[in-house]
Chains A and B, each alone.
Chain A
Amino acid sequence: GAVVSQHPSWVICKSGTSVKIECRSLDFQATTMFWYRQFPKQSLMLMATSNEGSKATYEQGVEKDKFLINHASLTLSTLTVTSAHPEDSSFYICSARAVDKNTGELFFGEGSRLTVL
């Protein structure tokens, strides 16, 4: 199946710093990527939909200035957590849908665990 890679897998940062997480589709092109946040023992919460070449669409309650999303190419979307605070600590997962597939399959990255001290 298609491969989606996230980097970094783990990141620890100090409060107030910014952290960038990359999501790459390795063997397919993705016009749309989704960013999710998962709290411990909870489901995935859709944060935003990232469209290549245009602004991301954020879900209600998600601060767009806090979570900056850039989808500059058909294989890369980035999520930047700006001025991170401990409450931003979470597991962030991206997913992508292949351009040439009309089956609706979503492929997920392995996730990035952010810990803010």
Chain B
Amino acid sequence: GEDVEQSLFLSVREGDSSVINCTYTDSSSTYLYWYKQEPGAGLQLLTYIFSNMDMKQDQRLTVLLNKKDKHLSLRIADTQTGDSAIYFCAEGNFNKFYFGSGTKLNVKP
């Protein structure tokens, strides 16, 4: 499958902004996603962006896409303890989706 990479851990203090980064290799990706996984649970779609966009904002979430560098980021403003989870980026087209290794976000009170 395609290569999607993320850093494994991120630790921030409550109220700070969190930025989770992701790089991918498939230049034909149509959609890029961010999912959240809480312990023992499935994946929750947070947001997604079309490959022809470079930014999308949804309340506390901001997604930035640099298609030239194949770099995707998720910024969480005013991070809360409830945001502690593993965040997966995923890329693909209509038929296949590949996931990064996940970034474990730890929010300290």
Are B97 and A105 in contact (CB-based, < 8 A)? no
A44 vs B42: C-alpha distance when bound (angstroms):
11
Neighbour of A49 across the interface among B30, B42, B88, B96, CB < 8 A: B96
Contacts of A93 in B (CB 8 A): 42-43
A-contacting residues, B5-38, CB 8 Å: 30-31, 33, 35
Contacts of B4 in A (CB 8 A): 43
With the chains together, A69 CA to B41 CA distance in Å? 23
Say yes or no: A108 contacts B100, CB within 8 Å.
Answer: no
Contact B45 A108 (CB under 8 A): yes
CA–CA, A95 and B35, complex, Å: 12
- Which residues of A sit under 8 angstroms from B90, Cβ to Cβ? 106
Q: Which residue of chain A is the closest to B35 with respect to CB atoms?
A: A108
Asked if residues A46 and B88 are in contact (CB atoms below 8 Å), the reply is no
CB distance from B15 to the nearest CB of A (A): 28
Partner of A108, one of B31, B43, B94, B95: B43
A contact patch SS = strand
Q: Does A104 contact B30, Cβ atoms closer than 8 Å? A: yes
Cβ–Cβ < 8 Å partners of A108 in chain B: 35, 42-45
A43–B96 CB distance below 8 A: no
Q: Given that A42-B101, A43-B100, A106-B33 are contacting pairs, would A49 and B43 also be in contact in the complex, using a CB cutoff of 8 Å?
A: no
* Set of chain B residues within 8 Å of A45, measured between Cβ atoms: 1
Tell me, in angstroms, the Cα distance from A16 to B40 when the chains sit together: 26
B48 lies within 8 A of A46 (CB): no
Say which residue of B35, B42, B48 sits within 8 Å of A111 (CB atoms): B42
| Bound CA–CA A43/B6 (angstroms) | 10
> Which positions in A face B, CB cutoff 8 Å?
1, 6, 32, 34, 36, 42-46, 49, 59, 93, 95, 97, 103-111, 113
26 A-B pairs with CB atoms under 8 Å apart are A32-B95, A34-B97, A43-B4, A43-B100, A44-B99, A45-B1, A46-B1, A46-B96, A46-B97, A46-B98, A49-B96, A59-B1, A93-B42, A103-B48, A104-B31, A104-B48, A105-B48, A106-B90, A106-B97, A108-B35, A108-B43, A108-B44, A108-B45, A111-B41, A111-B42, A113-B40
